[in-house]
Amino acid sequence: MKEKLNRIVENRWFNRLLTPAILVLVALFFTVATGGRFATPRNLQLMIDQALIVATVATGAVFIFATGNVNISMGAATALIATIAAKAYVATESIPLMFVIAIVAGAIVLAITALLSTALHVRVLYITVVMMTLLSSLQKGILGSSTVSLPYAVYSGMKNAGLPYIIFIAFFILCLVMFHFTSFGRKLRYIGINDTCAELTGFKKSRYLFWGFVVAGVGVGLGAILTIIRAGSISTDTASSLNMDCMLAIVLGGMSAFGGSRSYTWSAILGAVLVTVLNTGLQMMGVSSTIIQAIRGIIFIVLLVMSQKRPNGLPSRDG
């Protein structure tokens, strides 16, 4: 019986379908509990809007998490890049330039993180702790206690044109293809299963880690742009909870905390939407914000404990 259960849990399709099934069940529960108010088209759109920044940054972060590494500087990096990009817009009033600067700066910042880790032979986690402090200080140095704001017409114009959806969908498709349908993604997952074995097989870990970080950096850059479009203002508190939200989304989305074969790009979007659905649904049922925070924390711990078991399977060609 236990063996049978284990086989079901280890089944690739069980893992892939578990989170979507939970998401549908939770949404159905809230729809019934709120007498249908939860599932109005406007509410559903708002929930997707709220999840978009986390989903974008977390989709990129999957390329790091798949290797069994954790980057806790994503929030600080997003805040810094958003500051630089917003300042660039204020100075030049050029939206294309703001986009280019955000994407390039995001890729560079995370590439530096990867290089520091591989060149100095220090674990990624420790480097990202240092980077988090460093990037945050840099942002404070640039901003002080002031804020940098874009004119309402500019950021609301981009929002109304549906740019956030276009950015996310384009980035998601790119990541989906790279991660699940190329040898690059397969090798990242292989490193997550056993990095020593991967090195011995001929995959140069530092090289794949570097490119994984670059992709995550592009995600950070796009996340910074989405932050600007959504809020119109950047301060030193911008994206302060983004890091936690991304980690929560990835784990909640069904990805193993160890990465490896149970790593999926769609974990990020599923997890981000599930967090938003939980927040909104509980709020609509009259649960206070303090208790919602506690519930979020408990769910995260439970899922983290559940995903402690390193997945057995090897990365396959079908993703």
Partner 1 sequence: MKNMKRILVSLLLVVCLLVVCLTASAEAPQYKKMKIAWGTNTTSEAFVKMQNFFKDVLGPALNVEFMYSEALTDAGSMISFIESAYINGCDGVVMDLANFIDQGAPVAQDFGMFFVGISSADAVENLELPNYISVVGASAAGYGESYAKAIQSVVGDGEEHAIMILSGAAPYGATSFIEGTVGSLRALQDVYGLTYENDLYAMATSSTQVEAANDKNVKITVVPGMGDLTATVSPLLQTGEYDVIVGTTDIYSSLSVAVDEVEKATGKNISFISRNVFSDTVSTAMNGVDSTGNPVVDAIVCNGTFEHISSVVLLRNCFDGFEAQMRGEGRPSRVPGMNPLVITSAEEYNALSSDDMPYSFAAIEDIIALTSLVNPDVTWEDINTYGQSLTTENILIKYAK
Residues that bind partner 1 in the complex, under the rule CB under 8 A: 37, 43, 46, 49-50, 53, 144-147, 149, 152, 156, 227, 230-235, 237-241, 279-280, 283-284, 288-290, 292-293
* Structure token pair of residue 120: 């100095």
Smaller CB separation from partner 1, 232 or 311: 232
Could you tell me which of 284, 301, 275 has the C-alpha nearest to residue 43?
284
Q: Give the separation between CA 109 and CA 126, rounded to whole angstroms.
A: 16
Smaller CB separation from partner 1, 148 or 215: 148
Smaller CB separation from partner 1, 49 or 195: 49
Smaller CB separation from partner 1, 37 or 123: 37
The nearest distance, CB 99 to partner 1, in angstroms, is 19
Torsion of CA 224, 230, 233, 238, to 10 degrees: -50
The nearest distance, CB 269 to partner 1, in angstroms, is 17
The nearest distance, CB 103 to partner 1, in angstroms, is 20
The nearest distance, CB 312 to partner 1, in angstroms, is 39
For the chain, the maximum distance between any two Cα atoms, rounded to a whole number of angstroms, is: 66
Q: Give the separation between CA 53 and CA 199, rounded to whole angstroms.
A: 34
* Residue 1 burial (CB count, 10 A): 5
Contact indicator for 35, 283 with CB cutoff of 8 Å: no
The nearest distance, CB 245 to partner 1, in angstroms, is 11
Smaller CB separation from partner 1, 41 or 96: 41
